[in-house]
A and B are shown apart, each in its own frame.
Chain A
Amino acid sequence: MKALGIILAGGNNSKMQELSNKRAIAAMPVGGSFRCIDFALSNMSNSHIQKVAVLTQYNARSLNEHLSSSKWWDFGRKQGGLYVFNPTVTSDNAWWYRGTADAMYRNITFLKQSHEPYVIIAAGDCVYKMDYNKLLEYHIEKKADITIVCKDMPVGEDVSRFGVVRMNEDSRIVEFEEKPMVAQSNTISAGIYVLRRRQLIEMLERCAEENRYDFVTDILIRYKNMKRIFGYKLETYWNNISTVESYYKTNMDFLRPEIRRYFRDEPRIYSKVDDLPPAKYNVGSEVRNSLVSSGCIINSKVENSILFKKAFVGKNCVIKNSIILNDVYIGDNTHIENCIVESRDTLRANTYFSGGDGIKVVYEHNERYVI
């Protein structure tokens, strides 16, 4: 194979509020049945990249659990495999990963012992579908040193949480600003890169010598004028999960039939299978414009919402414009509007939750008494 994959899944973002207390962003449930990292992993698998390293750091319990077997994404073969690299203490390093470049540098042996000529680096917190082979072809054709996947955001959208780029007419990147106060363009970096493996090793070693740790500021921005860095425009669906609002919006996108069809068509997105029974609708259920996952049992009203796996909705409830994460028990007569209910939660009967004009993250720490 021509490339190996690295998925950066160590990140946390305080803008995810309580949602990030339980897990890294890459392990956030998405679209009713997926985890965020499934998209990058499935893209790798569907692009025939057989050797993939996942770099984790922040609260990796949930993510490690999700990756406990690699067979769901068709990894785990004699050629290649899925490697999960948590930070480890070594004789010459007692630190956590101090940045994305440091995280890769600390696993440089993995890079050195591989034989694939190219490396695809992808963030684990994006929802998209992509054939990395096309990116690689473009990279080779442009004789680029590094190629960055870029996405044009709608004019007027706040891009201050992204890396903003400007390309010249040859698609070479002439400007790259990380999280700018005032953005010069609406083209952003999608957090997906390709470069030669030897080039990456060289750059990472130099970074380490100079005590620099971040891939974006210390490699992409610093080398911008010295190396040939190109942009590759991604025209299809792409969304990044880094705030409660973007998480809510990305999930709600799955209520649109064209988005559902896009992700459902070949090549498919894979995930760990949970072996839950089909969803069950009892008398009194009134479900409209909603997604319902397997294992759910519904006894009342659900509107414009997404129920993840194994939600139990009691009698006379109203659930509106909300996201109910995995394994939530909702008691009778409960009203939930504009909320995200954290997974494995238990909501008592006769309670009221509303996000008002915004979105509220609900996490009650109730014990569950169910027979």
Chain B
Amino acid sequence: MIRKEMIAMLLAGGQGSRLGVLTSNVAKPAVAFGGKYRIIDFPLSNCVNSGIDTVGVLTQYQPLRLNTHIGIGIPWDLDRNNGGVTVLPPYEKSDNSEWYTGTANAIYQNLNYIDSYHPEYVLILSGDHIYKMNYEVMLDFHKENNADVTIAAMPVPWEEASRFGLVITDENKQITEFEEKPANPRSNLASMGIYIFNWSVLREALVTMSEQSNCDFGKHIIPYCRENGRRLFAYEYNGYWKDVGTLGSYWEANMELIDLIPEFNLYEEYWKIYTKSEIIEPQFIAEDAVTERCIIGEGSEIYGKVYGSVIGAGVVIGKGTVVRDSIIMQDTVIGDNVTITKAIVAENVTIGNNVELGVGEEAENKLNKSVYSFGLVTIGENSVIPSGVKIGKNTAISGKTDKEDYPDGLLAGGESIIKAGDRV
């Protein structure tokens, strides 16, 4: 009988709608990060570095990119005879076929997968955070406390605590209470959405709560465990952890990688982050190019000037072009004499010559002001930007655009062009 001490379930089905056009075709965990990675690489690498060799990845929203990225798990050494990575999409049942309606519901629908490994513990992860964490240490903490549930929690500044779901603990780190975004926080330990459960405890809770609609860990399973007298503990984590849920925080987290000694250091020898890299060739920096304070992925060709930016693999930046404080993702081609300031340009975008991105004053975005703000220009994957146009701040573009889409050659600040179903 196959027996694993702990297996991980990675929730990767969310859209991440606050990332706007970046996630219109891909699930949030598959969005590129840090020049060559995708967000899901961080929890997956944490798993293998922590000695977890069995990971179920739950997918639902736009899973194609995620599926091709994970494949059979070769980059993470998760192509195993016994265990390894398994992608778990929702499936049809003889009765009551449904999508994954909540985080806990998704796990409930895969009881058989977990049972087949007879684990003692199950680690629940979400696929949209940037951090390095040793889950083995968390498991040791869980065992030491003889806990039923351990929740990873991070101290946040007191003034910001009211934005988080907080845990209140006694002096032994046992959780006594939960507070969801309280006006007057009594604790500054924020839940990170990382849980270790004794499988028997979680299984019982999932089965009992199976009729609960939109069954969610934070809203239903954890409260259920507490009400039933289970031992809940908070594991305090003090390293770097970043939720890249909004375009602003996503941009910031990327920019932090450029610092001379970044707080989140990818260059450390131990705790490598693994990813699938299709391009392995070195990058070429041409005669008149400038590359200062930036990171650049494999196989890119830089003919222009790059300052303070994160450039993905296989990107071409033309002559006379200046890229500042921007994120340019994989395989994007930028023409000559283009100026790009504070933009997020997704994968496989084509930008013509003499284009200006990020001009003028900031204006509120008319399509969705809460998503497209921070003064950023956001361009979705496979988009085309014609030569000679100017694009203002807080704008979004998705799809193949041509000159007619830009009145007087300008997309003013706060405007958007979304051309659905027009992708090449």
Contact = CB atoms under 8 A, between A and B. Distances in A.
Task: Say whether A associates with B.
Answer: yes
Nearest to A295: B267
Contact of A277 (B35, B285, B291, B311): B35
B298 interface: yes
A273 B293 contact: no
B277 interface: yes
Interface in B231-289: 258, 260, 266-267, 272-275, 277, 280-289
Contact of A285 (B267, B274, B288, B292): B292
Contacts of A71: 74
Contacts of B355: none
Interface residues of A, number: 37
Given A273-B75, A281-B292, A291 B260 contact: no
B22 to A, nearest CB: 19
B281 A32 contact: yes
A289 B287 contact: yes
Contacts of B289: 287-288
A283 B260 contact: yes
Contact of B274 (A275, A291, A293): A275
B282 A32 contact: yes
B34 A306 contact: no
B330 to A, nearest CB: 11
A292 interface: yes
A33 interface: yes
A255 to B, nearest CB: 8
B297 interface: yes
Nearest to B282: A32
A287 B285 contact: yes
A294 B296 CA distance: 8
A291 B292 contact: no
A32 B282 CA distance: 6
A205 B282 CA distance: 45
Contacts of A294: 36, 282, 297-298
A308 B266 CA distance: 18
Question: Among A31, A260, A263, which residue has the most Cβ atoms of chain B within 10 A?
Answer: A260
Contact of B283 (A277, A279, A289, A297): A279
Contacts of A306: 282
A31 B295 CA distance: 20
Contacts of B294: 280-281
Nearest to A294: B298
Contact of A33 (B281, B295, B296): B281
Contact of B267 (A254, A264, A275, A297): A297
Interface in A113-152: none
B74 to A, nearest CB: 7
A33 B260 contact: no
Given A273-B75, A273-B277, A285-B292, A280 B267 contact: yes
B416 to A, nearest CB: 30
A287 B283 CA distance: 11
A271 interface: yes
Question: Among A33, A71, A290, A294, which residue has the most Cβ atoms of chain B within 10 A?
Answer: A294
A308 B298 CA distance: 12
B287 A278 contact: no
A93 interface: no
Given A275-B272, A277-B267, A277-B273, A288 B285 contact: yes
Given A278-B295, A280-B295, A291 B283 contact: yes
B414 interface: no
Question: Among B260, B289, B295, B310, which residue has the most Cβ atoms of chain A within 10 A?
Answer: B295
Interface string B49-84: 000000000000000000000000011000000000
B399 interface: no
A31 B280 contact: no
A287 B266 CA distance: 22
A270 B279 CA distance: 9
A280 B309 CA distance: 10
A278 B267 CA distance: 9
Nearest to B276: A273
Interface in B291-314: 291-299, 301, 306, 310-311, 313
B282 A278 contact: no
A159 to B, nearest CB: 30
Question: Among A286, A292, A297, which residue has the most Cβ atoms of chain B within 10 A?
Answer: A292
A307 interface: yes
A349 B298 CA distance: 28
Interface in A67-100: 71
18 contacts: A32-B282, A33-B281, A33-B298, A257-B284, A275-B75, A275-B272, A275-B273, A278-B296, A278-B297, A280-B295, A281-B291, A282-B260, A286-B290, A291-B284, A293-B282, A294-B282, A295-B267, A307-B282
Given A277-B266, A291-B282, A308-B282, 7 more contacts: A33-B298, A270-B280, A277-B36, A278-B313, A287-B285, A291-B284, A295-B267
Interface of A: 31-33, 71, 254-255, 257, 260, 263-264, 270-271, 273, 275, 277-295, 297, 306-308
